[in-house]
Amino acid sequence: MTKSLHTKNFAFTLAEVLITMAIIGIVAAITIPSLVQKYQEKARVTALKKFYSTINQAVQMAVIEHGTPDMWGITSDVPDVLLTTIFPYIKHAKFCNDGNSKCHTADTLYMRRGEKLDTHVFNGGDGTGRAGMQLADGMIVGIYANMTADGACSINLGTGDLTNICGEYIVDVNGSSKPNTYGKDLFIFNLTKRGTLVPVGARNYTAAGYVFETGCLSDSAAGWGCAGWVIENGNMDYWHCNDLSWNGKHKCGN
């Protein structure tokens, strides 16, 4: 006498499959943008630290050969000196300006608060002593030298070395690609009389637009004071929470 065994095959119905796909889609829509944002921010942090190392090394080499920046002849009449003096110490860099080729091809730059700027920061042409240079990895460097019209490196933006600023370097760490926004991919470094390269927003700044809290953290900030935070803390969490401080929280949720 035999006993027949009957097996039952279970499968998802079409409705169940559609519901599952919908749930997966909702989860992906919530999590993927956040993951992409974190990846982009991490990439920009890495790029900014690389830029800092590259330019700082070039500045130190220039100091050895030409003396401290107050001896470079940096004035509003000779603004390109900020770039031409360090140019020989940066491999495969390209110098560019309105008379040659424009470094930055985007139409508009943005402050953190959303205010629009044009690209003269990198391409010159506005009469404020600016010029540009493109590095081999695509980063674009601009300068501002009119702040030292007397050539004395006497601009005071804070304490210590920051009482003797000679000029500044502005970098777009991903070239002309978006978002072209201060505090996201645009950052500023000051060059001091002694040859120190200081990321704007570092602890010793006192000038409002260059202080981290008022120059970066606030939603109404220009975004100029963010580089110091990124270099020291390795994050861009000032875009995600507003209770960060040098003497308190150094990242969101901490």
| Tens of pLDDT, residues 185-221 | 999 999 999 999 999 999 999 999 999 999 999 999 9
81: confidence class by pLDDT, cuts 50, 70, 90: confident
8 A C-beta contact, residue 250 and residue 223: no
Q: Is residue 79 reached through a cis peptide bond, with omega within 30 degrees of 0 on the bond before it?
A: no
| Tens of pLDDT, residues 38-79 | 889 999 999 999 999 999 999 999 999 999 999 998 876 666
pLDDT at res. 202: 97
CA 137/CA 220 separation, integer angstroms: 32
pLDDT at res. 254: 62
Tokens at residue 129, please? 């002593």
pLDDT at res. 199: 98
Pick from 25-29, 50-54, 174-178, 212-216: least confident? 25-29
pLDDT at res. 182: 97
8 A C-beta contact, residue 112 and residue 61: no
Q: Which residue has the higher pLDDT, 219 or 18?
A: 219
**What is the reported pTM?**
0.85
Q: Is pLDDT at 145 greater than 60 in this prediction?
A: yes
End-to-end CA distance of the chain: 73
Ramachandran angles phi, psi of 222, nearest 5°: -70, -30
How is the chain split into domains, by residue range?
16-239
Q: Is pLDDT at 86 greater than 90 in this prediction?
A: yes
pLDDT at res. 147: 60
Judged by DSSP in three states, 242 sits in: coil
CA 151/CA 82 separation, integer angstroms: 12
Mean pLDDT of 149-160: 83
| Tens of pLDDT, residues 95-109 | 876 555 678 888 899
Sign of CA dihedral 226, 231, 235, 241: negative
8 A C-beta contact, residue 165 and residue 188: no
Q: Is pLDDT at 14 greater than 60 in this prediction?
A: yes
| Tens of pLDDT, residues 89-138 | 999 998 876 555 678 888 899 999 999 988 878 876 655 557 789 999 99
8 A C-beta contact, residue 127 and residue 154: no
8: confidence class by pLDDT, cuts 50, 70, 90: low
A 10 A CB-CB count for 34 gives 9
pLDDT at res. 18: 79
Q: Is pLDDT at 2 greater than 60 in this prediction?
A: no
Q: Is pLDDT at 4 greater than 70 in this prediction?
A: no
